[in-house]
A and B are shown apart, each in its own frame.
Chain A
Amino acid sequence: MIHIIEGIFQNLKTWGLPVIMLIIGIIEFAYGLYENHWTKNERLLDIVCFIVPKILVKPVIAYFGLLLLPEVLPNAKDIFAWVPFWWGFFIIAVGDDLTQYWYHRLHHQLPWLWRFHRTHHSAPYMGMAMASRQNFLYTIFFSQIYFTTTMVYLGLGYPVLFVTGVKSLITTGAHSSIKWDKPFYTKKWLKPIGWVMERVISTPATHHAHHADTNDDGIGNYKGNFGNMFFIWDLIFKTGIITRQYPKGYGIKHYKQEEWYAQFLWPIFKSKKEGSELAHNGPMVGDATPELLDVEDSNLPVITPAYS
Chain B
Amino acid sequence: MKAEKETIKKLRSDLLISLFLFALPVLLMLLTFKITGQQPWKNKMPVVKTQTK
Question: Which positions in A face B, CB cutoff 8 Å?
Answer: 77-79, 81-84, 87, 90-91, 94-95, 98, 102, 106, 109-112, 155, 236-237, 284-285, 288, 291, 308
Contact = CB atoms under 8 A, between A and B. Distances in A.
Q: Which 5 A-B pairs have the closest CB atoms?
A: A78-B46, A82-B44, A91-B25, A87-B29, A82-B41
Label chain A's interface by main secondary structure.
loop
Contacts of A106: 11
A109 B1 contact: no
Contact of B1 (A78, A111, A236): A111
Interface residues of B, number: 25
B18 A102 contact: yes
Contacts of B22: 94-95, 98
7 contacts: A78-B46, A84-B40, A90-B25, A91-B25, A95-B22, A102-B15, A288-B1
A240 B6 CA distance: 18
Interface in B22-43: 22, 24-26, 28-29, 32, 40-41, 43
Interface string B10-26: 01001101100110111
A2 B33 CA distance: 40
Given A83-B40, A109-B11, A155 B2 contact: no
B51 to A, nearest CB: 16
A237 B17 contact: yes
Nearest to A95: B22
B24 to A, nearest CB: 7
A262 to B, nearest CB: 20
A155 B46 contact: yes
